[in-house]
A and B are shown apart, each in its own frame.
Chain A
Amino acid sequence: MFPGPNRGGDDVMTGSQSALLIDVRGLHVHQGAREILTNVDLTIGTSEIVSLIGPNGAGKTTVIRAILGLVEPSAGVITRRPGLKIGYMPQRLTIDPTLPLPVSRFLALSGCAGGGRRRAVLAEVGAAHVWDTALSEISGGEFQRVLLARALLREPDLLILDEPAQAIDVNGQAALYEMIGTIRDRRACAVLMVSHDLHHVMAATDRVVCINTHLCCAGTPDTVSRDPSYLELFGEHVASSFALYQHHHDHHHDIDGSVIEENAAAEHQHG
């Protein structure tokens, strides 16, 4: 029994594991004949930061979409804690340049919270100064903060962030991960994030789940970084050094290349 396309995580199965916000068991997802995910398990507990890592094409985003009810599992069970509120920050958001949209209006599109509350949440993510600015005129880092603010407007028990640090320079990335940690501490919400960035993942995460269309390994950052399947997936030298640069992806799948990732991959080859 699967939850259908959900309405922000309200429809649920009542499970016995009430401490868990999300319990994914044996998740399979097909796209046509292609199997995108095979037998993936994942749990998220209260106030826990879980990072989902894996090479490009590993199905990380698909796991998230399944949890959000945006994609129908072909097998497996996804259990959400009753009444669970999820705040979602999507991976890419390109605003059509013909649409004039100030940040304040973008936040209002969520349909929750009043103007004062929206302003406060934008300040909470450190982007109060872009309130009146058009979405098309703010920087990559500001954009990610605005997206995070929109997710927070729902007062979520669980934040789901799909590559929150993309299109941000290295210093900005550190600041963003730090802020995600602060938000978790202050709001006591759990966080599930997809990340490419092993360095930050290992530093700012309670638990790491590593997938490559199937579940490779899961556990604390320490355990995972010593796991043979993890070392095989990311290469021993990268894994052991906690990579100063982003890890080298599986090039067979590497089609999504944002500029930052390409640079990082190139730098990595030199180092």
Chain B
Amino acid sequence: MGRSSKKTRRPSISMDDFLSDFLVRAVLAGLGVALVAGPLGAFVVWRRMAFFGSTLAHSALMGVALGLLFDWNPVIGVIVICVIVSLALAILRTRSRLADDTLLGILAHGTLAIGLVAVAFLETVRFDLMGYLFGDILAVTVVDLIWIYGGGIAVVAVLIAIWRPLLAITVHEELARAEGLRVAEINLVFMLLMALVVAVAMKIVGILLVVALLIIPAAAARRFSRTPEQMAIVATVMGMLSVTGGLAGSFGIDTPAGPSIVLAALILFGLSAALPAMRRVTQ
């Protein structure tokens, strides 16, 4: 994992001096991902979909392989595979007696194994497996930034548009259906948003840690929120603090960037959990 500083001074395709600094690109990429991960992560926590998110993330490597095979941007390959995995899960749920977490485990690790085998076949391509598994935020390109911000703005816009129905479905799906909401369609849109966020966030913290960026800031935000919207915003702020703190730590003491960001989020979560207890002690 200690790959952070080796390839950093590579000439970039940036036109702008500002963006030519790898650290600036890294911070911008991280903040962009934190921006969408906040509200989306809140829904993942409310809907108890952490393991589902993790399954999508595990399958992402297969998507990357697919992208390389057809010469697509990896983001597109990841979205295609995420959609296939979600459909497979929906079918398995109706056809199988196995519990949801078993099905998710089968899909997560099965697709990861397929992905690992598939990329092994693509030996002609210089393939940075560690970068995909643990993130490679210091190697973010301007093209990646465009994906992150383009995708991020699209995700936030769609999320705002479906906010009320999605929240209503999260609270009680039958009631929402009885009230005339198009539950299946909205759930599908939400799944696509998750796929898109997994695809763009993968570059930052990697396949194995991407769900952490969704759920840890949201979990840390719970205590400080009285409404769903507050929780989404606080989660975003927590995510941004984690990215900044993690990158600062990574730059200062040369730790791997992706795991450092998750570690910063974990520290924030710990503080948020300990804060009320500390307050009680001082009173």
Task: Give A contacts to B, CB under 8 Å.
Answer: 5-8, 10, 65, 68-70, 86, 88, 90, 93, 95-96, 98-102, 105-106, 108-111, 134, 150, 154
Task: Write out the residue numbers on chain B whose beta carbons fall within 8 Å of the beta carbon of A154.
Answer: 179
A70-B177 contact, Cβ under 8 Å, with A96-B46, A102-B226, A134-B226: yes
Q: How large is the interface on B (under 10, 10 to 19, 20 to 34, 35 or more residues)?
A: 20 to 34
Task: Write out the residue numbers on chain B whose beta carbons fall within 8 Å of the beta carbon of A68.
Answer: 177-178
Q: Which of B68-112 contact A (CB under 8 A)?
A: none
Task: Write out the residue numbers on chain B whose beta carbons fall within 8 Å of the beta carbon of A90.
Answer: 172, 174-175, 178
In the complex, the answer to whether B168 meets A111 with C-beta atoms within 8 Å is: yes
In the complex, the answer to whether B231 meets A100 with C-beta atoms within 8 Å is: yes
* A99 and B174 alpha carbons, distance in the complex (Å): 18
In the complex, the answer to whether A99 meets B170 with C-beta atoms within 8 Å is: yes
Min distance, Cβ A191 to any Cβ of chain B, angstroms = 16
Partner of A101, one of B174, B219, B227: B227
Smallest CB-CB separation from A109: which chain B residue? B168
Min distance, Cβ A111 to any Cβ of chain B, angstroms = 6
In the complex, the answer to whether B177 meets A100 with C-beta atoms within 8 Å is: no
Smallest CB-CB separation from A7: which chain B residue? B180
Interface centre among A10, A102, A105, A154 (most CB of B within 10 A): A105
* A221 and B200 alpha carbons, distance in the complex (Å): 63
Chain B window 251-282, contacts with chain A (Cβ cutoff 8 Å), 1 for yes, 0 for no: 00000000000000000000000000000000
* A105 and B228 alpha carbons, distance in the complex (Å): 9
* A95 and B47 alpha carbons, distance in the complex (Å): 10
Smallest CB-CB separation from B175: which chain A residue? A90
Partner of B179, one of A88, A98, A100: A88
Min distance, Cβ A169 to any Cβ of chain B, angstroms = 24
Min distance, Cβ B216 to any Cβ of chain A, angstroms = 13
Asked if B1 is at the interface of the complex by the 8 Å CB criterion, the answer is no
Q: Which of B200-220 contact A (CB under 8 A)?
A: 219
Asked if B222 is at the interface of the complex by the 8 Å CB criterion, the answer is yes
19 contacts between A and B (CB under 8 A): A5-B177, A8-B180, A10-B180, A65-B174, A69-B178, A70-B174, A70-B177, A86-B178, A98-B219, A99-B46, A99-B171, A100-B225, A101-B227, A101-B228, A105-B228, A108-B164, A109-B171, A110-B179, A111-B168
In the complex, the answer to whether A102 meets B227 with C-beta atoms within 8 Å is: yes
A98-B164 contact, Cβ under 8 Å, with A8-B179, A86-B178, A88-B178: no
Smallest CB-CB separation from A106: which chain B residue? B171
In the complex, the answer to whether B171 meets A98 with C-beta atoms within 8 Å is: no
In the complex, the answer to whether B48 meets A96 with C-beta atoms within 8 Å is: yes
Min distance, Cβ B262 to any Cβ of chain A, angstroms = 20
Task: Write out the residue numbers on chain B whose beta carbons fall within 8 Å of the beta carbon of A100.
Answer: 222, 225-228, 230-231
* A134 and B222 alpha carbons, distance in the complex (Å): 13
Q: Which of B166-187 contact A (CB under 8 A)?
A: 167-168, 170-172, 174-180
Interface centre among A65, A69, A101 (most CB of B within 10 A): A101
Task: Write out the residue numbers on chain B whose beta carbons fall within 8 Å of the beta carbon of A102.
Answer: 226-227
Smallest CB-CB separation from A110: which chain B residue? B179
In the complex, the answer to whether B175 meets A93 with C-beta atoms within 8 Å is: yes
Smallest CB-CB separation from B176: which chain A residue? A109
Smallest CB-CB separation from B46: which chain A residue? A99
* A146 and B282 alpha carbons, distance in the complex (Å): 38
Known contacts A100-B226, A100-B231, A111-B168; 6 further A-B pairs (Cβ under 8 A): A88-B178, A98-B45, A101-B228, A102-B226, A102-B227, A108-B164
* A99 and B48 alpha carbons, distance in the complex (Å): 11
Smallest CB-CB separation from A154: which chain B residue? B179
* A96 and B43 alpha carbons, distance in the complex (Å): 11
Task: Write out the residue numbers on chain A whose beta carbons fall within 8 Å of the beta carbon of B170.
Answer: 96, 99
In the complex, the answer to whether B177 meets A109 with C-beta atoms within 8 Å is: no
Chain B window 123-134, contacts with chain A (Cβ cutoff 8 Å), 1 for yes, 0 for no: 000000000000
* A150 and B178 alpha carbons, distance in the complex (Å): 12
Task: Write out the residue numbers on chain A whose beta carbons fall within 8 Å of the beta carbon of B165.
Answer: 111
Smallest CB-CB separation from B184: which chain A residue? A5
Min distance, Cβ A152 to any Cβ of chain B, angstroms = 13
In the complex, the answer to whether B164 meets A111 with C-beta atoms within 8 Å is: yes
Smallest CB-CB separation from A92: which chain B residue? B172
Min distance, Cβ B225 to any Cβ of chain A, angstroms = 5
Partner of A70, one of B167, B178, B219: B178
Min distance, Cβ A186 to any Cβ of chain B, angstroms = 22
Task: Write out the residue numbers on chain A whose beta carbons fall within 8 Å of the beta carbon of B222.
Answer: 98, 100
